[in-house]
Amino acid sequence: MINTLVEKIKKTNAPIVVGLDPTLALIPKHVLKKNYDEYGADLNGVAKAIVEYNKTIVDAIYDIVPAVKPQIAMYETFGIPGLIAFKETVDYCKSKGLVVIGDIKRGDIGSTSTAYALGHIGKVTIEGKEFKGFDEDFVTVNPYLGTDGVKPFIDVCKEEKKGIFVLVKTSNPSSGEFQDRIIDGRPLYELVGEKVAEWGADCMGDSYSYVGAVVGATYPEMGKVLRDIMPKSFILVPGYGAQGGKGADLVHFFNKDGLGAIVNSSRGIIGAYKQEKYAQYGPANYGDAARAAVLDMKEDIVSALA
């Protein structure tokens, strides 16, 4: 799957992933109303509205980006109906040829991590038949529990030719509280980065590993160091746009081959219609606004890399 992601990035010339992180505040009122009227103003109605919202955005951008990243928390908050909307979103994005990165940040130990891995990027066998729970292409994984927690995901990656992005240095303001603490003269995130490189070494695609890392755009200097520590790992970079990261901050997340990173924007794309810059589209044309925002983001990143 890492090979597929690399190919799609080359083809679109857009190292961009669109975060499908719907919230009640982002979904246009007319979409909510229509679905509330049809399905009820409840968890189910919201879930249906989410799917419509996502599909419209995906239809508007699927030919210019390689990947999407639905954040499962934004679906899980609406209980079972929300998770059904997550699954429908994953399936729809895959039907449009997009690589789907499930932003699930799971992580547990041994057989429990295996259960998450099988449910999200693998399969379970029931009476000799195989079934897939969610079937994303990549997922994000939390490393706090150590190798025991990550290895089961890697085993499933090898089996299924799928991939993971391990949290190394997250984009939020307090990420340094534990991640930046100095251990033997170096911050914790560097040690986690070394582990990512080590874990990834024995499950390589053509040029990059199935095991990638998450490093926030908001910490460009740390991104530079981590790029060197994990030369074969793709870096998933959150924090662009709404969280403050800019194209110029991203240069060092990439390798000299122009690859090695994929930059996420969520609100900046799916909520573009709410920004002054794209106000001319209006809430009715939120898909077109999202497309315009992707093209601007691409310009920003590609020109910074040039």
Closer residue to a second copy (CB): 119 or 260: 119
**Cβ atoms 199, 211 nearer than 8 A:** yes
Q: How far is CA 42 from CA 27, 46, 73, 81, 291, in A?
A: 15, 6, 18, 10, 30
CB of 99 to a second copy, least distance (A): 20
CB of 29 to a second copy, least distance (A): 11
**Cβ atoms 22, 270 nearer than 8 A:** yes
Q: Which two tokens stand for residue 254?
A: 């990439």
Do you know the residue count of the chain?
Answer: 306
Q: Which positions touch a second copy (CB under 8 A)?
A: 21, 23-24, 36, 41-43, 45-46, 71, 73-74, 76-80, 82-84, 87, 105-113, 115-116, 118-120, 124, 126-127, 129, 131-134, 142-149, 167, 170-179, 181-184, 188, 191-192, 195
**Cβ atoms 220, 277 nearer than 8 A:** no
Is 169 assigned a catalytic role? no
Closer residue to a second copy (CB): 60 or 72: 72
Q: Which two tokens stand for residue 142?
A: 């939390």
Which is catalytic among the residues 34, 87, 105, 132? 105
Q: Which helix (H) or strand (E) holds 130?
A: strand 129-131
Rounded distance, CA 160 to CA 138, Å? 11
Closer residue to a second copy (CB): 125 or 257: 125
CB of 255 to a second copy, least distance (A): 26
Rounded distance, CA 190 to CA 93, Å? 34
Closer residue to a second copy (CB): 177 or 276: 177
CB of 112 to a second copy, least distance (A): 5
Instruction: Enumerate the active-site residues.
Output: 105
